[in-house]
Copies of this chain bind each other. A is one copy, B any other.
Amino acid sequence: MSEMLKVAVLGANGRMGAAAVDAVGEAAGMELVAALGRADSLEMLRDCGAEVVVDLTVPSATEANVRFAVEHGMDVVVGTSGWDAVRLESLQALLADHPESGVLIAPNFALGSVLATHFATKAAKYFDSVEIIELHHPAKVDAPSGTALRTAELIAAARRAAGVPAAPDATETELDGARGASVEGIPVHSVRLAGLVAHQEVLFGNAGEGLKIRHDSFNLGSFMPGVLLGVRTVGTRPGLTLGLDGYLDLEG
């Protein structure tokens, strides 16, 4: 009798999906039972006995995929974006009818990035000053990055909750843009440089000391340990979990 966890990957022809197919195929304790592309029928998930479905598709397809999987008793790990409040509410309702099913929806599977954001949020209230520098390849179309925006929002919320005043800043004369974009009062600076991939620094300062938390993502491989952690854990976490940090052991 097999002890292998049966895993299916949706979006297997995309870059992330293809990497996940490889990662699942090589991971101990897992068996890849399906690798489906856009044209394949979801019925194949049932036929192959998938226990965990990894959804790495597109915003227009992800909701139907997840619903199908939950309705058929599978757990789901989702790396696709597009889950707004309406979709999440609808999914919660579905999960109420399937209390044994687990769904993880994570905007970011890089363990290091998730840890960096968690630590930055924890540190936020202990420092007078905080700024974010994110650095990416020059083909990126948005600035700041989504990760930087989210990090800034979490830091700003933590500082508001603790009653930390605005960071000191005596700037009187500024060349337009020099002090970065302000995201809820947190300055965010976006660097675009040939040779880079995806990098972020959160800088904290008090009188006499500084703390820097930097994450570097060098390639897609950085997401796979997080995807596999999700696949291994989702079966033990019924209901909806938002963010990989929910699966990390960060307390105490």
Task: Type the 1/0 row for A159-178, where 1 means its CB is closer than 8 Å to any CB of B.
Answer: 00000000111111111111
Task: Using C-beta atoms within 8 Å of the partner chain, give the interface range for chain A.
Answer: 35 or more
A215–chain B nearest beta-carbon distance, Å: 5
The answer to whether B209 touches A222, judged by C-beta atoms less than 8 angstroms apart, is yes
List which A182-219 residues lie within 8 A (CB) of chain B: 182-183, 187-197, 203-219
Inside 8 A of A215's CB, which chain B residues have their CB?
209-212
With A143-B178, A173-B143 in contact, is A206–B131 under 8 Å at CB? Answer: no
Question: Cβ of B168 and Cβ of A112 under 8 Å apart?
Answer: no
Whether A119 touches B178, Cβ cut-off 8 Å, given contacts A143-B173, A208-B219, is: no
A210 near B183 with CB under 8 A, answer: no
A208 touches B222 (CB 8 A): yes
In the complex, the answer to whether B127 meets A194 with C-beta atoms within 8 Å is yes
Most chain-B Cβ atoms within 10 A of its Cβ — which of A171, A174, A205? Answer: A205
Interface locus among A65-73, A75-83, A99-107, A244-252? A244-252
> A87 in the interface, Cβ–Cβ < 8 Å?
no
Contact present for B112 and A206 (CB under 8 Å): yes
Find the B residue at minimum CB distance from A144. B178
Beta-carbon contact of A115 and B111 below 8 Å: no
Say which one of A5-13, A56-64, A134-142 lies at the interface with B.
A134-142
A171 touches B194 (CB 8 A): no
Q: In angstroms, how far is the closest chain B Cβ from the Cβ of A229?
A: 9
Pairs A-B, 8 closest by C-beta atoms: A208-B221, A208-B222, A209-B222, A193-B205, A178-B181, A112-B211, A175-B181, A195-B205
Can you give 22 contacting A-B residue pairs, CB < 8 Å? A110-B209, A111-B127, A111-B209, A112-B209, A119-B213, A131-B191, A131-B193, A138-B170, A142-B172, A142-B174, A171-B192, A180-B180, A187-B191, A189-B189, A195-B208, A208-B222, A209-B218, A209-B222, A210-B216, A211-B215, A212-B212, A251-B252
